[in-house]
Amino acid sequence: GAGVSQSPSNKVTEKGKDVELRCDPISGHTALYWYRQRLGQGLEFLIYFQGNSAPDKSGLPSDRFSAERTGESVSTLTIQRTQQEDSAVYLCASSLRMGNPVGETQYFGPGTRLLVL
């Protein structure tokens, strides 16, 4: 079956513009996660969804960042008034369900590489 897909693969934008990043999770996966990875660093957790709800938004770096999920499927991460420090790879992952007491594997998409000039 298809894995997690993200679009666009690459995005170059000017400082101050808004961008939307899209994630299509694996069909049937109820949990969806967004991470950010700056060059040469590990992943920073941004937000996760259980179904269409986002119980924890604490990883979002500022109020310029928002995300939504519809139909327990597609998710969109929006960054308003982009800044140069927003430049990073934005990775989306999905997992079958959340709350399994022994944890579960997250399946990652290829990421969107965002460059803010």
Partner 1 sequence: SQQGEEDPQALSIQEGENATMNCSYKTSINNLQWYRQNSGRGLVHLILIRSNEREKHSGRLRVTLDTSKKSSSLLITASRAADTASYFCATAASNDYKLSFGAGTTVTVRA
Residues that bind partner 1 (CB under 8 A): 4, 31, 33, 35, 37, 39-43, 45, 48, 56, 59, 89, 91, 93, 98-99, 101-111, 113
**Residue whose C-alpha is closest to residue 74's, from 13, 109, 37, 25:** 25
For the chain, what is the largest distance between any 2 Cα atoms, rounded to a whole number of angstroms? 43
Q: How far is the CB of 6 from partner 1 (least distance, A)?
A: 8
Q: What share of the chain is helix, strand, coil (3-state, %, to 5)?
A: 5, 50, 50
Rounded Cα–Cα distance for residues 117 and 115 (Å): 6
Rank residues 80 and 108 by Cβ distance to partner 1 and give the closer one: 108
Rank residues 82 and 106 by Cβ distance to partner 1 and give the closer one: 106
Q: How far is the CB of 85 from partner 1 (least distance, A)?
A: 17
